[in-house]
Amino acid sequence: MKTPGIAASEITDEGVFMNRRNLLRLGVGAAIGAAIGGCPAAEEAGAKDDSGSADSGLRPLTDVEPARARHRADDEISRYRDATEYNNFYEFGTGKRDPAHNAHSLKPEPWSIVVDGEAGKPGRVALEEILKPTRLEERIYRFRCVEAWSMVVPWIGLPLADVLKRFEPTSKARYVSFETLVDREQMPGQRRRVIDWPYREGLRMDEAMHPLSILAVGMYGRVLPNQNGAPIRLIVPWKYGFKSIKSIVRIHFSESQPNTSWNDLAADEYGFYANVNPEVDHPRWSQARERRLGDFRKRPTLPFNGYADEVATLYSKLNLRRFF
């Protein structure tokens, strides 16, 4: 990605191959739910990776519905340490290893989200209230960063639609946008104005209400590590990773298309839609192929990140070269 002072080398994933175990400093926190319960994907990933989630000290999430067949990517799940030590979270620095190193200062508990704009029931809601009515589910999704690296992660969360409906968006609500926490003490990267904080992202309402869109509160059977967006983040698997905003504190319904961070910074490089599309190159690199974290060879990138059957109809009226 491109912001002042960021070296081009940061768009490569060279760090994946380094031993970063000593840098692992997971933030402990986020009391979300309690109790017990199996998580097949987490066990699977832990078994092949000795630095797996079981060692993280993070709270296990329980009573989680295992991923249904259609929510279970066929690809091999990425190693826990790749998914948690190679991150983009500019609030903690612009280097790939900065978030794992610095995010211990984030306090994901207590947490609440303000909901406003075109909603019949706006207000401030505690995270526990958001999670209470719906059983958490596992979703094993491919995740493709605009920088051409990718991973497969067993997220745990709840459908975004279930949450949004509770605030009764009005008939004028055509878009929904999200904001990350602003707090220079907890997020030292915000002392530099690499982004006009807060980090902002948004979706069209039909995208937000699509069953594949989730709010994630965990991964690999446990609550989210701070560097992955604790305590609650968006996951939209058919879009480039920058849409999947972390550590959300505000949800806003609007009639007009919202401003979003990367689109504001470089509209010619990062579109509002940001659907994964191997046919539309980034101005500075090809999007035809991607490197899965942990792999040496690149693999072809799939249209809509492999979710075209489910989501392509959302864009039947859109020129995807123009609205990229």
Footprint (CB under 6 A) of ligand MTE, residues 24-63: none
Tell me the closest approach of the beta carbon of residue 48 to ligand MTE, in angstroms.
19
Tell me the closest approach of the beta carbon of residue 149 to ligand MTE, in angstroms.
8
Which tokens sit at 257?
């298309």
Tell me the closest approach of the beta carbon of residue 240 to ligand MTE, in angstroms.
7
Residues 6+ apart with CB under 8 A from 305: 142, 143, 144, 237, 238, 239, 276
Find out whether 41 and 77 touch, Cβ atoms under 8 Å: yes
Beta strand 149-159 with 137-144 is: antiparallel
Using CB under 6 A as the binding criterion, the count of chain residues that bind ligand MTE stands at 16
Footprint (CB under 6 A) of ligand MTE, residues 210-229: 228
Q: Which is nearer to ligand MTE, 64 or 274 (CB)?
A: 274
Burial class of 146 by CB neighbour count within 10 A (0 to 12, 13 to 18, 19+): buried
Footprint (CB under 6 A) of ligand MTE, residues 123-152: 145
**Contact between 241 and ligand MTE per CB under 6 A:** yes
DSSP string of 138-193, one letter each residue: EEEEEEE-TTSEEEEEEEEEEEHHHHHHTT-B-TT--EEEEEE---TTT-GGGGS-
**Contact between 167 and ligand MTE per CB under 6 A:** no
**Contact between 242 and ligand MTE per CB under 6 A:** yes
Q: Near ligand MTE by CB under 6 A, which window of 6-14, 26-34, 62-70, 83-91?
A: 83-91
Tell me the closest approach of the beta carbon of residue 219 to ligand MTE, in angstroms.
8
Residue choice 91, 98, 138, 207 for contact with ligand MTE (CB under 6 A): 91
**Sign of dihedral through CA atoms 68, 72, 76, 81?**
negative
Q: Which is nearer to ligand MTE, 103 or 136 (CB)?
A: 103
Q: Which is nearer to ligand MTE, 78 or 254 (CB)?
A: 78
Distance of alpha carbon 190 from alpha carbon 199, whole angstroms: 10
Tell me the closest approach of the beta carbon of residue 46 to ligand MTE, in angstroms.
18
Provide the edge-to-edge strand list for the sheet that holds 112-117. Answer: 123-126, 112-117, 248-254, 175-180, 200-204
Residue 77's H or E segment, with its range, is none
Tell me the closest approach of the beta carbon of residue 90 to ligand MTE, in angstroms.
4
Torsion of CA 275, 209, 216, 118, to 10 degrees: 110
**Contact between 89 and ligand MTE per CB under 6 A:** yes
Q: Near ligand MTE by CB under 6 A, which window of 54-62, 129-137, 158-166, 238-246?
A: 238-246
Q: Which positions touch ligand MTE (CB under 6 A)?
A: 1, 87-91, 145, 180, 199, 228, 241-242, 244-247
